[in-house]
Amino acid sequence: MQLTELEQTKLNQVRLDQSWKDSLADFLLSPKMDELKSFLVEEKNADKLIYPPSSLIFNALNTTPIANVKVVILGQDPYHGPDQAHGLSFSVQKGLAIPPSLRNIFHELNTDLGIAVSRNGDLTKWAQQGVLLLNSVLTVEAGQPTSHQKRGWEDFTDQVIDVLNESRAHIVFILWGAYAQKKGQRIDQEKHLVLKAVHPSPLAANRGGFFGCKAFSKTNNYLKQNGIEPIDWQLDA
């Protein structure tokens, strides 16, 4: 892709890992991305508090470059409480209370692999090992869940999934809940493993179908079968 000087300058302003920047350049330079950026600027100019902070919006992609991705855990949108969101799906910053969905994830991890339930909700260690913790929507207004849906982020993260689907093989896509499963319909299941279960939120999980899904052991078994180093799911206390 041959870029003009103006396009290159525009791309250089995006704080994004180079492998993702190169692969997503068409979208990053598109009118859709311009509209999304304009929306975010307008929200901030209206003194609305946006999560996560600007420096962490692309945290998942920056922590897990394309070549490192082994697993994708697809979430919906960021947490909307103070200081929770830091750009990784289901993860909260160290020292904060564990949200209910993440608590259920930890309990399933304990049942599946015998790993002790963590008191730390920061999943950065997973991301550093190749678990792309991707939300479908990357920003949210404080206290207003789903407030940034249908503003362009879904198109952006569809492109992220397409890049992985087409350029890589043997990735595990973990899709919890109908929303993630619908977004995951574009994945080639002959090249990748797709694991589906109900969402880990208490309302859904307690109805059955999340606990006992064994996503973590199935993921590691698949990776090992394909000669890929499995994930160490144990988090620091």
User: Dmax over Cα atoms in the chain, in whole Å?
Assistant: 55
| Whether 155 is catalytic | no
**pLDDT, tens digit, for every residue of 20-70?**
999 999 999 999 999 999 999 999 999 999 999 999 999 999 999 999 999
For residue range 175-218, what is the model confidence (pLDDT) as tens digits?
999 999 999 999 999 999 999 999 999 989 888 889 999 999 99
In the set 22, 34, 47, 77, the catalytic residue is: 77
SS3 state of residue 133: strand
At 107 the pLDDT is 97
Greater pLDDT, 12 or 25 = 25
pLDDT at 237: 61
In Å, what is the CA distance from 138 to each residue of 3, 18, 102, 116, 152? 26, 19, 18, 30, 10
pLDDT recorded at residue 1:
63
- Which residues touch 209 (CB under 8 Å, ≥6 apart)? 197, 198
Name which of 120, 125, 129, 64 is nearest 92 in CA terms. 120
Decide if 182 contacts 161 (C-beta within 8 A): no
d(CA 236, CA 163): 31
Residue with the bigger pLDDT between 117 and 1: it is: 117
Q: Residue 9: is its pLDDT beyond 90?
A: no
| % of the chain residues with pLDDT over 90 | 90
Average confidence (pLDDT) over 217-232? 98
Q: What percent of the chain has pLDDT over 70?
A: 99
pLDDT of residue 128: 98
| 136, pLDDT greater than 90 | yes
Q: Are 221 and 233 in contact (CB under 8 A)?
A: no
Give CA separation, 57 vs 31, 96, 135, 153, 222, in Å.
Answer: 19, 19, 10, 11, 30
Residue 189: exposed, middle, or buried by beta-carbon count in 10 A (0-12, 13-18, 19+)? exposed
